[in-house]
Amino acid sequence: MGRLRLPNPIAVASGTFGYAREMAAMVDLRRLGAILPKTITQHPRIGNPPPRTVETAAGMLNSIGLDNDGIETFLARHMPYLASLGPPVLVSIAGKNDDEFVAMAARLDQAPGVAALELNISCPNVSGGVDFGTDPAMCERLVAKARRACALPILAKLTPNVTRIDVIARAAEAGGADGISLINTLLGMSVDWRRRRTRLGAGMGGLSGPAIKPVALRMVYQVARAVSIPVMGIGGIASVDDVMEFLVAGATAVQIGTANFYRPTVSMEILDALPGALAELGAGRVADVVGTLEFPPPAACAGPAISNP
Ligand SMILES: Cc1cc2nc3c(=O)[nH]c(=O)nc-3n(C[C@H](O)[C@H](O)[C@H](O)COP(=O)(O)O)c2cc1C
């Protein structure tokens, strides 16, 4: 992915794989294309009130609220183990403002074992946190500042909770991002009408899982055509067929999220099946299928969904 070299295109998404240690009994971690640990923040965060997760039709809602022990604890307690595993470690960071992002980017630039940064400018569970990913000017400025603060490859992780994802992606590219990760969760809600209460303690949360895959595919397709930097596809991926759909739609690599919870071995199953799926298209390499979707000609379609270039 540009300056970032991955041994294969199957990564695990931030917040759905712990700090990898938790998964070691079920997953051969050395085989993964990349590991994205839970987003870290400058200071420890206690997260949102419980309940923090709710099952939905074909997915789940979460409002974890970036519960984490802060960057220094992460570097001392988790990074040495993550770095010992072999796959590139893409560290996800979130700040309350530009300065926090910049301070963390500069700190991680000096930390051994970090292959790249993923800027989480898309978490729906942190008050104010979503602004960077919904305002193109803020997005470009933030990425540019992080870019100046560190030499590592930078991925901007975008929120789907916008009207024009291509505009935000172009802003991230203009700011100097090496790649785009998308999508994060869709803001949603679950209601227990008998109690007249929301099921999540925080009221609202992020929807993920198979339910969001069509939205993610559509956005990956739009963004891959709007920018010239590589795209990491995320959203509802649970099988090798899902992976192939994202690659053909324009993703250079993918991240698996919610599926890790209900089938922890899913990434291994996908890795086993990927060469066969590529062979079905006559492809020997992932790059041969990326962005090869034959979209229906414009005359065959109608409506605003296809109005993007
Ligand atoms: C419980 C949970 C926690 C998450 N925590 C984070 C996080 O800390 N940082 C982040 O960038 N994304 C986080 N995400 C979003 C996922 O990385 C991913 O973008 C999203 O869930 C869509 O992929 P999926 O449908 O495969 O889960 C979280 C998702 C879930 C379900």
Q: Where do the structural domains in the chain lie, given as residue ranges? A: 10-306
Kindly state the tokens that stand for 137: 């000017």
- Report d(CA 118, CA 172) in Å as an integer: 12
Q: Of the listed 123, 139, 150, 301, which one is catalytic?
A: 123
Looking at residue 246, its amino acid is: F
- Report d(CA 43, CA 67) in Å as an integer: 10
CA separation (Å) from 294 to 49, 213, 290?
46, 19, 12
184 lines ligand 1 (CB under 6 A): yes
Residue 306 has pLDDT above 80, yes or no: no
CATH class (in words) of the domain with range 10-306: alpha beta
Residue 124 has pLDDT above 70, yes or no: no
- Report d(CA 157, CA 182) in Å as an integer: 6
More reliable by pLDDT, 295 or 240: 240
Kindly state the tokens that stand for 3: 């300056």
- Ligand 1 atom 29 nearest Cα: 15
39 lines ligand 1 (CB under 6 A): yes
Q: In the annotation, is 123 catalytic?
A: yes
38 lines ligand 1 (CB under 6 A): yes
User: Given pLDDT bands bounded at 50, 70 and 90, which one contains residue 120?
Assistant: very high
User: Given pLDDT bands bounded at 50, 70 and 90, which one contains residue 26?
Assistant: very high
212 lines ligand 1 (CB under 6 A): yes
208 φ, ψ (degrees, to nearest 5)? -145, 175
Q: What confidence tens digit (pLDDT) does each residue in 140-150 have?
A: 999 999 999 99
- Report d(CA 90, CA 222) in Å as an integer: 24
Helices of type H across 118-164: 131-134, 136-149
What is the share, in percent, of the chain residues with pLDDT greater than 70?
Answer: 93
Residue 297 has pLDDT above 80, yes or no: no
Residue 93 has pLDDT above 90, yes or no: yes
Full-prediction pTM beyond 0.75?
yes
Q: Which DSSP symbol is given to 42?
A: S
